[in-house]
């Protein structure tokens, strides 16, 4: 057990720190401001071009073949510099790497990793949220293409995406988990309509609705075999639940840092309960950082966490919501007086963490049955 940097890690950290000193784009906190999303693509490509993104992914596709723990260093240094978090798309990389053919990997991974092609994830539908397998969007074979009809919702960043990682029903005649396939669908085409949604904290880029009305996708863009879509989806969501894959640790650490700075300026103006909330948010964020260190170290043994990802998702959710609550507590009356108050927005955004990527209740169901082995309800 050793939490210190190896020589290679130390060298990487120093290089990154130097680079960040000159290249922090000074974006607003990602969860609170549409301006962040307007400039996120530049941030992604800047990080990538400087050699600081896709650290643990295959060099062949533009990654760096480094051990996963390098992502911890990246998150720590981003947080320390107050820079934006790394783009969260590791789960899509994992999905394509695990299920895609060599052609699919060669075609899509480089653009996804470099940030030159942007992606969204079209899983959820109005009537298929927690019960994702009941999704009704269809993809029907038509010559060399599939034709897509249906309605996706809560699709994050769909309005800036070039591609949609789409789940659609290709066979209505088999049990619901077996008739789903996954596709890489081009977003810039006539059969697709975007309807942005405004989130409770006022931002409009977080998610939207996407309507598919005769949109087309080439058959060769299917990811995995026909009917394999559910397995593909499970690979993706299990990684989407891992804080090590998402890089949110940097975002939480930055918020804690901002809140701590405000309190330090004059601690006597805060009540003990506010101070407790801030200290507790620090404890929670630090726990998550250490938890990610442990999980990413375990990957060195080839351990993939599967349902354990739900444990991590719940921990991450509690951390985000504790940090959000601390920001709100410290903001005090300002949060009530100003709809643009950043802590208010951070707090409001934090409520989504127990819904997105599968709700906390769904995660607890998974932990109960698949981690604890409790009997089915």
Span interacting with other proteins, options 113-121, 191-199, 242-250, 283-291, rule CB under 8 A: 283-291
CA dihedral 123, 127, 129, 132 (to 10 degrees): -60
Least Cα distance to 353 among 330, 322, 326 occurs for 322
The dihedrals phi and psi of 317, each to the nearest 5 degrees, come to: -65, -45
Binds ligand FAD (CB under 6 A): choice among 98, 304, 359, 369: 359
Rule CB under 6 A: is residue 40 a binding residue for ligand FAD?
A: no
Is the Cβ of residue 165 or residue 282 nearer to ligand FAD in the bound state?
165
DSSP 161-207: -SEEEEEEES-TTS-TTTSEEEEEEESSSTTEEEEE---TTS-SSSE
Considering the complex, what minimum distance in angstroms separates the CB of residue 81 from ligand FAD?
A: 26
CA distance 255 to 324: 8
Binds other proteins (CB under 8 A): choice among 16, 166, 288, 329: 288
CA distance 15 to 37: 26
What does 41 interact with, of other proteins, ligand FAD, none (CB < 5 to 8 A by kind)?
none
What does 286 interact with, of ligand FAD, other proteins, none (CB < 5 to 8 A by kind)?
other proteins
Q: At what angle do helices 248-265 and 308-331 cross, to 10 degrees?
A: 20
Helical (H) or strand (E) element with 152: strand 145-156
CA distance 80 to 69: 17
Span interacting with ligand FAD, options 55-63, 92-100, 123-131, 142-150, rule CB under 6 A: 123-131
Q: For the window 146-165, what string marks contact with ligand FAD as x by the rule CB under 6 A?
A: --------xxx---------
Binds other proteins (CB under 8 A): choice among 38, 283, 336, 337: 283
What does 280 interact with, of other proteins, ligand FAD, none (CB < 5 to 8 A by kind)?
other proteins
The dihedrals phi and psi of 122, each to the nearest 5 degrees, come to: -100, 80
Rule CB under 8 A: is residue 291 a binding residue for other proteins?
A: yes
Residue 240 a catalytic site member: yes
Report how far apart the first and last C-alpha atoms of the chain are (Å, whole number): 40
Residues 6/63, Cβ–Cβ less than 8 Å: no
Q: Residue 181: beta bridge partners?
A: 168
Rule CB under 8 A: is residue 258 a binding residue for other proteins?
A: no
Residues 110/53, Cβ–Cβ less than 8 Å: no
Rule CB under 8 A: is residue 7 a binding residue for other proteins?
A: no
**Angle formed at CA 295 by CA 320 and CA 71, multiple of 5 degrees:** 75
Span interacting with ligand FAD, options 117-125, 284-292, 293-301, 329-337, rule CB under 6 A: 117-125
Rule CB under 8 A: is residue 333 a binding residue for other proteins?
A: no
Rule CB under 8 A: is residue 304 a binding residue for other proteins?
A: no
Considering the complex, what minimum distance in angstroms separates the CB of residue 291 from other proteins?
A: 4
Residues 241/247, Cβ–Cβ less than 8 Å: no
Give, as ranges, the residues between 186 and 245 that touch ligand FAD (CB under 6 A).
206-207
Q: At what angle do helices 229-240 and 308-331 cross, to 10 degrees?
A: 40
- Count other Cβ atoms within 10 Å, centred on residue 72: 25
Q: Which residues bind other proteins (CB under 8 A)?
A: 1-6, 9, 69, 72-73, 260, 263-264, 267-268, 273, 275-276, 278-280, 282-284, 286-288, 290-291, 293-294, 297-298, 300-301, 311-312, 314-315, 317-318, 321-322, 325, 353-354, 360-361, 363-365, 367-369, 371-377
Enzyme catalytic residues: 240
Q: Which residues bind ligand FAD (CB under 6 A)?
A: 121-124, 129-130, 154-156, 206-207, 352, 355-359, 361-362, 365
């Amino acid at each position: 057990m050793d939490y210190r940097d190896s020589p290679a890690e130390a060298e990487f950290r120093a290089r990154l720190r130097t680079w960040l000193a000159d290249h922090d784009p000074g974006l607003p906190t990602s969860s609170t401001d549409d301006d962040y999303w307007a400039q996120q693509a530049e941030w992604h490509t800047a990080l990538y071009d400087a050699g600081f993104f896709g650290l643990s992914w295959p060099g062949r596709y533009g990654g760096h073949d480094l051990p996963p723990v390098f992502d911890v260093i990246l998150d720590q240094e981003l947080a320390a510099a107050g820079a934006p978090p790394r783009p969260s798309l590791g789960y899509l990389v994992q999905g394509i790497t695990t299920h895609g053919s060599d052609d699919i990997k060669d075609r899509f991974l480089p653009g996804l990793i470099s940030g030159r092609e942007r992606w969204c994830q079209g899983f959820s539908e109005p009537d298929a949220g927690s019960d994702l397998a009941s999704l009704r969007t269809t993809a029907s074979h038509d010559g060399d293409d599939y034709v897509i009809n249906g309605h996706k919702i809560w699709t994050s960043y769909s309005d800036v995406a070039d591609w949609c990682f789409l789940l659609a029903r290709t066979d209505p005649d088999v049990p619901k988990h077996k008739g789903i396939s996954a596709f890489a669908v081009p977003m810039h085409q006539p059969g697709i309509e975007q309807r942005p949604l405004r989130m409770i904290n006022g931002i409009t880029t977080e998610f939207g609705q996407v309507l598919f009305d005769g949109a087309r996708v080439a058959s060769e863009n299917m990811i995995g075999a026909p009917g394999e879509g559910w397995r593909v989806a499970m690979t993706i969501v299990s990684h989407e639940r891992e804080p090590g894959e998402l890089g949110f640790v940097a975002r939480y650490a930055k918020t804690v840092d901002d809140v701590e700075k405000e309190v330090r300026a004059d601690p006597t103006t805060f009540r003990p309960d506010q101070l407790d909330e801030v200290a507790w948010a620090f404890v929670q964020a630090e726990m998550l950082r250490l938890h990610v260190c442990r999980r990413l170290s375990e990957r060195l043994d080839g351990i993939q966490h599967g349902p354990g990802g739900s444990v991590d998702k719940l921990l991450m959710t509690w951390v985000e919501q504790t940090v959000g609550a601390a920001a709100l507590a410290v903001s005090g009356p300002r949060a009530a007086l100003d709809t643009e108050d950043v802590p208010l927005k951070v707090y409001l955004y934090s409520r989504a963490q127990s819904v997105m990527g599968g709700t906390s209740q769904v995660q607890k169901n998974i932990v109960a049955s698949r981690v604890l082995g409790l009997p089915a309800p």
